[in-house]
């Protein structure tokens, strides 16, 4: 669709090949100064011995080569945490997408009052601070004081009288997953819902007249049309969920029992920032950047193979 006039227009009205760069300039300048430059510094710091003592001038900064990286890679816990982070983030992203898209489709099918209620509830969840949301959820699921276990028992599920959600590694992760999905599905839901609303009604009608199942309508009609939206709402949760911090920190009391619920960002915080080991923290930051970059590139490569142009 956008094949028109890519070349021809350029010469026409005084636009040169510099025009896009001119438009990009403000963004690039801001980002170069406030993002690229700090990241460059971060890379630099990761090769130094750089703790609070060096920062405040108490001791000189010394070059360490790859020492910080060696320390990191030789720590067995780092690898365990890395694997946990990757799996947890993947589950979070998938759940967020499934819940968000599912509810978006549901939104198009229900009465106006219910729709408004769900919409407002979702927007409220979105507007809430992660730290508050996590705190409230811990309250709700508290084995002694929380109403959730009491409700589960009341519904007739046994074994929940004294069930502690945060004692077992997987139920603790599940609880955090719930919070992460709770506060990030609204973005997906609202965006995808808006997208569906904008799909011409006839298209959907035609599809359902053909007797296609809900799943098929989604798979072969909606999803392709929504792709530009889906790209954005996938990439962002990947980045956010890989870096999840507040939820784990608040809900599992800093990484769970004996560190069973640690993810990379919390690990970095405890290992490096809480005790001002900035160089080690920078090394972890760089490693995270590289991993996320790889994941994003693979994702975009896959998209391109399917014919989606960026």
Partner 1 sequence: MLIAVVVAFPLYWMVLSAFKPASEVQSSNPRPWTLNPSLDAFRPVFDHQDFGRYFLNSLLVAGTVVVASALIAFLAATAVTRFKFKMRTTVLIMFLVAQMVPVEALTIPMFFLMRDLGDSVPGIGLNTLGSLILSHIAFSLPFAIWMLRGFVKAVPESLEEAAYLDGASRTRFLWQILFPLVLPGLIATSVFSFISTWNDFLFAKSFIISATENSMLPMALLVFFKDEGNDWGGIMAASTIMTIPVLVFFVLAQRRLVSGLGGVVKD
Partner 2 sequence: MNVFARMAAPVAALVAAGLTATACAPSTSDNEAKKDDQSGTLCVWLFQEVDNDPKKKVVDQAVADFRGKHKDVDVDVTYIPINTRAEKIKAAFNDPESAPDLIEYGNTDTAGYVQDGGLADISEEFASWPQSKDTDATAKESLTVKGKTYGSPLFVGVRALYYRTDVFKDLGLKPPTTQEELVNTAEKIRAEPKDLYGLAVGGAYTYGAMPFLWSNGGELATEKDGTYRSTIDSAQSQAGIKAYTALFGDQNCPANKCAEMGGNNTVETFASGKAGMAIAGNFNHPAIEASKVKGKYAVVPLPGKKAGEIAPAFAGGNNIGLLKSSSHRTLGLALMQSLTSKKTQGALFDAMGFLPTYTDVRKEAAAREPFAEPFVKTLDVAKFVPASPGWAAIDAVLVLPTMFQQIVSGRKDVDAAANEARKKMDAAFTEAG
- Give, as ranges, the residues between 245 and 274 that touch partner 2 (CB under 8 A): 252-259, 270-271, 274
Residue 203 interaction partner, one of partner 1, partner 2, none, beta carbon < 5-8 Å per kind: none
CA distances from 130 to 40, 236, 308 (A): 29, 16, 34
Give the nearer residue to partner 1 in terms of CB position, either 260 or 296: 296
Number of residues that bind partner 2 (CB under 8 A): 45
- Residue from 166, 184, 191, 234 touching partner 2 (CB under 8 A): that is 166
The verdict on 24 binding partner 2 (CB under 8 A) reads: no
Minimum CB–partner distance for residue 54 and partner 2 (Å) = 6
167 binds, among partner 1, partner 2, none (CB under 5 to 8 A by kind): partner 2
Give whichever of 185 and 249 is closer to partner 2, judged by the CB atom: 249
Three-state SS annotation for 176-240: HHHHHHHHHHHHHHHHHHHHHHHCCHHHHHHHHHCCCCHHHHHHHHHHHHHHHHHHHHHHHHHHH
**154 near partner 2, judged by CB under 8 A:** no
Nearer to partner 2, 95 or 166 (CB): 166
User: CA separation (Å) from 37 to 29, 32, 41, 290?
Assistant: 11, 6, 6, 17
Quick one: 22 or 83, whose CB is closer to partner 2? 22
| Interface segment toward partner 1; rule CB under 8 A; list 31-39, 89-97, 167-175, 213-221 | 31-39
- Candidates 277, 284, 286, 295; binder of partner 2 (CB under 8 A) is 277
Number of Cα atoms under 13 Å in the Cβ half of residue 101:
20
- Of 73, 79, 145, 170, the one binding partner 2 by CB under 8 A: 145
Torsion angle of C-alpha atoms 269, 289, 70, 68, degrees rounded to 10: -50
Minimum CB distance to partner 1 smaller for 172 or for 190? 190
How far is it, in rounded angstroms, from Cα 97 to Cα 118? 17
DSSP H or E run through 62: strand 62-63
DSSP code for 14: S
Selection from partner 2, partner 1, none that 275 binds (CB < 5 to 8 A by kind) is partner 2
Nearer to partner 2, 102 or 254 (CB): 254
Our finding on whether 98 is near partner 1 (CB under 8 A) is no
Asked whether 225 and 195 are in contact (CB, 8 A), the reply is yes
- Does 23 bind partner 2 (CB under 8 A)? Our answer is yes
Residue 216 beta carbon to partner 2: minimum distance, rounded to whole angstroms: 45
Alpha helices, H only, the chain: 8-12, 19-31, 37-45, 52-55, 67-73, 76-109, 112-127, 130-140, 147-155, 169-198, 201-209, 214-216, 223-242, 246-251, 264-268, 278-305
* DSSP state for residue 59 in the 8-state scheme: S
The answer to whether residue 162 forms part of the interface with partner 2 (CB under 8 A) is yes
Q: Which stretches of the chain bind partner 2, using CB under 8 A?
A: 22-23, 25-26, 29-30, 32-33, 37, 41, 44-45, 48, 50-59, 61, 143-145, 162, 164, 166-167, 252-259, 270-271, 274-277
């Amino acid at each position: 669709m956008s094949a028109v006039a890519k070349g021809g227009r350029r010469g026409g009205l005084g636009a040169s090949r510099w025009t896009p760069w001119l438009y990009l300039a403000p963004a690039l300048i801001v980002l170069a100064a406030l993002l690229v430059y700090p990241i460059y510094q971060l890379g630099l710091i990761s090769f130094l011995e750089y703790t609070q003592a060096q920062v405040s001038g108490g001791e000189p900064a010394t070059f360490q080569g790859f020492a910080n990286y060696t320390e990191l890679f030789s720590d067995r816990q780092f690898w365990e945490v890395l694997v946990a982070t990757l799996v947890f983030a993947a589950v979070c992203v998938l759940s967020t997408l499934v819940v968000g898209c599912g509810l978006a489709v549901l939104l198009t099918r229900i009465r106006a009052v219910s729709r408004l209620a769900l919409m407002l509830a979702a927007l409220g969840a979105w507007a809430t601070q992660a730290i508050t949301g996590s705190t409230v959820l811990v309250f709700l699921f508290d084995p002694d004081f929380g109403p959730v276990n009491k409700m589960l028992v009341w519904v007739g599920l046994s074994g929940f009288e004294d069930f502690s959600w945060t004692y077992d590694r997987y139920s603790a992760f599940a609880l955090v997953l719930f919070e992460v999905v709770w506060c990030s599905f609204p973005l997906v839901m609202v965006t995808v819902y808006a997208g569906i609303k904008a799909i011409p009604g006839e298209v959907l009608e035609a599809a359902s007249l053909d007797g296609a199942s809900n799943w098929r309508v989604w798979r072969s009609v909606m999803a392709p049309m929504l792709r530009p939206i889906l790209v954005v709402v996938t990439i962002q949760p990947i980045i956010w969920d890989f870096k999840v911090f507040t939820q784990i920190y608040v809900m599992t009391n800093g990484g769970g029992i004996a560190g069973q619920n640690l993810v990379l960002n919390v690990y970095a915080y405890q290992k490096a920032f809480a005790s001002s080991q900035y160089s080690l923290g920078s090394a972890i930051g760089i490693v995270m950047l590289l991993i996320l970059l790889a994941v994003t590139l693979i994702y975009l490569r896959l998209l391109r193979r399917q014919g989606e142009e960026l």
